[in-house]
Amino acid sequence: MALNLDECYDHVMGLVDEAGKIIAARNYGEKSVVEKSSNIDLLTETDQQVERLLMDGITAKYPDHKFIGEEETSAGKQAVLENAPTWIIDPVDGTMNFVHSFPHSCISIALLVNKVAEIAIIHNPVLNQTFTARRGKGAFMNGKQIRVSGETRLEHALATTEFGTSRDEEKTAVVLENIGKLIRVIHGMRSLGSAALNIAMVALGGADFNYEFGIHAWDIAAGDLLVREAGGVCLDPTGGPLDLMSRRFLCASTQELADKVIPLLTQYYPQPRD
């Protein structure tokens, strides 16, 4: 029987709402924190609890569905994107923000069927911003339709990017080189501390492009559909097709703007891939 995507959406929205209340209630409190891949790649018990809540709640209704979740993957499970309905989940995107009570963290979740994104939800429960998209049905913030800015001029573009969660010297040099090149020509650069919320700003029309090397599938899967449904483009930073597992991402309000950003980017190929 064909999967009823309306039902999937409603079901997961209920879970995201419940999980968001846990994040919001704890945002301004003390957290116990452990380090993952580096001392700026953090994990709290909330990350694990929210991922469990979402996965258990989805499995209860859809026992055959698959998952690629940040915390399961960090704990050693191999991330494999199959044709079966697969939920790609970042339970808390912006964990560093959450640890510091900086109110920009979100749940980022996407459903892919046959490797095609059908549902995207990016929910910041602290500031009550909920970005949603369904394939072919547009992008929304808190129920109101959103569109990309349509900006084509590099000199007028506002960008979002991040410094990332790695201390690797070579990676850090590329990050700083790209920021250095871009800030000399564009209007400005912002870092919200959450890859998914940075991408959502492009969908909203608040920023004109976003790029990052080193992100994971769970940081970008929802943002990819959201931006495309808002009228923007999502690409590999060389201009080729986006590969969700490549840990490389570029999106822009227009292809014309993306074409102007691409030649300025020093490329980086994070290893291992997802």
The contact set with ligand IPD (CB under 6 A) reads 70, 90, 93-96, 162, 164-165, 193-195, 212, 214-216, 219
Smaller CB distance to Ca ion: residue 90 or 274? 90
State the residues that interact with Ca ion by CB under 5 A: 70, 90, 92-93
Q: Choose between 8 and 126: whose C-beta lies nearer to ligand IPD.
A: 126
**What are 169's two structure tokens?**
């010297």
Q: Which is nearer to ligand IPD, 8 or 192 (CB)?
A: 192
Tokens 């989805």 -> residue: 58
Bridge partners of residue 210, in order along the sequence: 160, 251
| Nearest approach, Cβ of residue 168 and ligand IPD (Å) | 13
For the bound state, the minimum distance from the C-beta of residue 103 to ligand IPD, rounded and expressed in Å, comes to 14
> What CA–CA distance (Å, rounded) separates 120 from 112?
9
Distance CA 92, CA 270 (A): 22
Do residues 58 and 12 lie in contact, with contact meaning Cβ atoms separated by under 8 Å? yes
Q: Of the candidates 102, 120, 101, 100, which has an alpha carbon nearest to the alpha carbon of residue 110? A: 120
Beta strands 116-124 and 129-134: pairing type?
antiparallel
**Least distance between ligand IPD and beta carbon 75 (Å):** 14
Q: Which entry of ligand IPD, Ca ion, none binds 165, CB below 5 to 8 A by partner kind? A: ligand IPD
Smallest distance from Ca ion to CB 47, Å: 6
Cβ-proximal residues to 104 (8 Å cutoff; 6+ apart), any chain: 94, 97, 124, 126, 127, 192, 193, 194, 197
CB of 70 or CB of 212, closer to Ca ion: 70
Q: Which C-beta is closer to ligand IPD: that of 72 or that of 93?
A: 93
CB of 262 to ligand IPD, least distance (A): 20
Residue nearest to ligand IPD (CB): 162
